[in-house]
Chains A and B, each alone.
Chain A
Amino acid sequence: MVSKTRRKFLKVSGAATAFGLAGCLQDGGSGALQTQYMDTPGYEDFFSKHTSKFEEETGIEVEYDFVGWGDAKSTMQSNMTAKSGPDVHEIASTWIPAQVEAGGWMDLRDEAAAQQLPDTSNYPSGALEVGQFDDMLVGIPWYWGPRAWQESGPKMDEAGIEGSPENWDELVSQGTAYNEVTSDGDYFGAMSGGIEPGRNFAMFLWQNGGSLLNEDNSAPAFNSEAGVEAMNFYKDLIVEHEIIPEASLDWESSGLQSAFAGGEVASTWGALSMTNAYADADGNSRDELRVSAPPKGPDGDSGTFFGMELLGIASWSNKVEEAAQWIDYLAQPEVNAELADIAGFLPPTSGGMNTELYSDPFYETFDEEVFPAAKTYPQVRGWGEIETEIYQTATDILNSAVTGNWSEGDTKSALDDAASVAEEALNN
């Protein structure tokens, strides 16, 4: 009888211990600051080095984890639903409105965080605006990058093309001239498929004087005449002028990078990551690249898309001060520049741009010539749905065109359909 009671006692204690341990682990049992970033080559080494350095300086232990771009949004949604997960996150600017609505981020102006965070006056107002929504400062800008026109000097010289295209007409005439002197499988320019057609469309739309939403962001405007023209121009670069290969619709961003780096395409619209991919390939050199603002549309605008990544603190974090200190550490010009360089983007502060890593005059073109024309998506409720709608619609139009299923009026009708979904998303 005694042994049976003891056995029961042991069983119950074992179960309680297991539950307790599981609970501790769930709560980040080690007590370290939990952080999460997008999975990017080179991050592992960077964070291994800097978490050790940070711990030496402050005594705060930082654990890091990576999440793939494809899974990041749903992973964050799950964290926000459960109100648990890492304390510090890398935030993509376009997800901010929906995630603020979900109560996922804390306001970095709150006293506990603000005292430790970097001085926001060091940041350009445009960059800081991206991190704000609903009177909250959600994220500290970490790196950003506009898409520039990039072309391989040797390939263009070989084809006898002089100078980068200044506008859409020159883009078409240069592309046509290039095609005449090159063989099949050697393309003038390219844009990737995947989710990129939405951003590419936005770029052409801005260049054509249009906008995604109306002035007060209360209604869609991408289905305007300027939008239809921009989308048709994009489509025609592929099917009519054959400047962009049809095959590129099958390419993800990495496919485009390898095609550009491998010399399969002579030019593209890309951020610094494209430059790095080109320069890293065997036999290539960054000096061969010619970088400029994208060709202007009929409206004289070189509008291009820029993406920004920020660092934010989860609303459920109970280590706000430690999290703010870690963000402050990562925002130091040298550290920030090192990370931005690995990611293939630019640091958002002049301090970062003045570091040794960004001293090459090459970066000035990005900073001074391309940035002024760069725009990003509006920070508005329902944008996630609108963004999905735009890229699906742009993809459908391009797919229809290359498979011979497009006819006059289809672009307008598809953009109108997308606009009705966007309208509903804005008013929902």
Chain B
Amino acid sequence: MAGSNFDIRQRISAVTDRVPAVRKHVPSLGIGDRLPFYRRLSGGQRFAYRLLLPALAAMTIVHFIPILWGLTISTMGVDLTYASHWYDAPFVGLDHFRYVLGIENFDDVLVSDTVVGERYRNALKNSVIFSVGTLVVTYVLGLTAALVLNQKFKGRFVARTLLLLPWVAPVVVSLYVWRMMFTQQGIINQTLLTIGLIDEPMFFLIGDNSMWALIFAHSWTQFPLVMIFLYAGLQSIPKQLYEAAAIDGAGRWGKFRYVTMPQLKPVSAVIVLLMLLWTMINYTAPFVLLGGAPPKQANVAILYIENYAFGNSQFGRGAAMSVVLFLIAMVMAMVYYRYLFDDETTGAGA
């Protein structure tokens, strides 16, 4: 362990030793010297920040400013009247948050005081179900496919290409095909009727089944990505570990349980984080599959926010809803990241 840290330090110093030579080519306006924070940094750290600057500048324009603007208008009464001069809209403090979360009075915060609050809470709950459901389905499908591809068999290359198709195909096209298949007269109902599993056509896009349809169709477009992650993880597991496990008497299940899954833990952690967050803010799948009037069972937060904010021109309230969703996603990410970080430092992930 100490040896590997030493290697890393050596490699870092090999780079930083060359910093002065490279620094000459990096333009500086001397702005940094006026910033106390920047003045305290070492030469190497300053250089690192300069290299990060273009990416940070782009992120500021694309991400940070819109987030700040969203935060700002979530406290202002911005509707269509004020859309072109939002800065004139009245300041409403946290009123929008109280309204969209249904906490007009604090008698019982678990019960929404407003209809919109009740629907928004339902949409948040649906988003969580959608995210967790998609994670489970994509992980199971992705792991199964990765394990199969990790075997040596004839036509492995063709199989790998075919399994990537759902991810490579334009997502809107894939989802429209799913939408057509899920209708009452679609191929899924016809197949189930033909083989006698159901007596009459089912609704997949309305009612209780709509969430399952949404999870399945979205998972279909996403599982190849999970498969690629896990396949790469499987490829990097040293064969010696399997040999050692075999010597210890482990069978197929034992090897999977005690070698494969622990070794896949780091990549699985990344998958869990990404799939949860990406699904929570995914707009394409719910919109294409369920349209502008989604059933309440599958009306996820991102779709509800868009329909509410733009359908009703209530941009301030829509921003408040977005801020809540953003905070939930951030908290989830932070908790998970903290858990992961702690886990790694205690050596469980090694």
Using CB atoms and an 8 Å cutoff, list the residues of chain A in contact with chain B: 70, 73-74, 77, 80-83, 98-99, 101-103, 193-195, 197, 246-247, 249-250, 384-385, 388, 391-392, 395-396, 399-400, 402-403, 405, 417-418, 420-421, 425, 428
Contact = CB atoms under 8 A, between A and B. Distances in A.
Contact of B312 (A403, A405, A418, A425): A425
B115 interface: yes
Contacts of B293: 193-195, 197, 391-392, 395
Contacts, number: 87
Given A384-B311, A385-B312, A425-B312, A77 B183 contact: no
Contacts of B114: 420
Contact of A399 (B184, B207, B310): B207
Main secondary structure of the interface of A (DSSP, over half): helix
Most buried by B among A70, A80, A195, A399: A399
Most buried by A among B205, B206, B291: B206
Most buried by B among A99, A403, A405, A420: A403
Contacts of A388: 307, 311-312
Interface residues of B, number: 28
Interface of B: 79-81, 83-84, 114-116, 183-185, 201, 203, 205-208, 291-293, 295-296, 307, 310-314
Most buried by A among B115, B183, B310: B115
A371 B121 CA distance: 43
A98 B80 contact: yes
Given A246-B184, A396-B296, A405-B208, A194 B203 contact: no
B81 A101 contact: yes
Nearest to A403: B207
B84 A74 contact: no
Main secondary structure of the interface of B (DSSP, over half): loop
Given A77-B80, A399-B295, A421-B115, A250 B206 contact: yes
A396 to B, nearest CB: 6
A249 B294 CA distance: 12
Given A402-B207, A403-B203, A83 B84 contact: yes
B206 A102 contact: no
A247 B185 contact: yes
Contact of A250 (B81, B116, B205, B296): B205
13 contacts: A73-B311, A103-B84, A246-B184, A246-B203, A247-B184, A250-B184, A250-B185, A250-B203, A395-B295, A396-B295, A396-B296, A403-B207, A418-B115
Contacts of A195: 292-293
A405 B207 contact: yes
A182 B314 CA distance: 49
B183 A194 contact: no
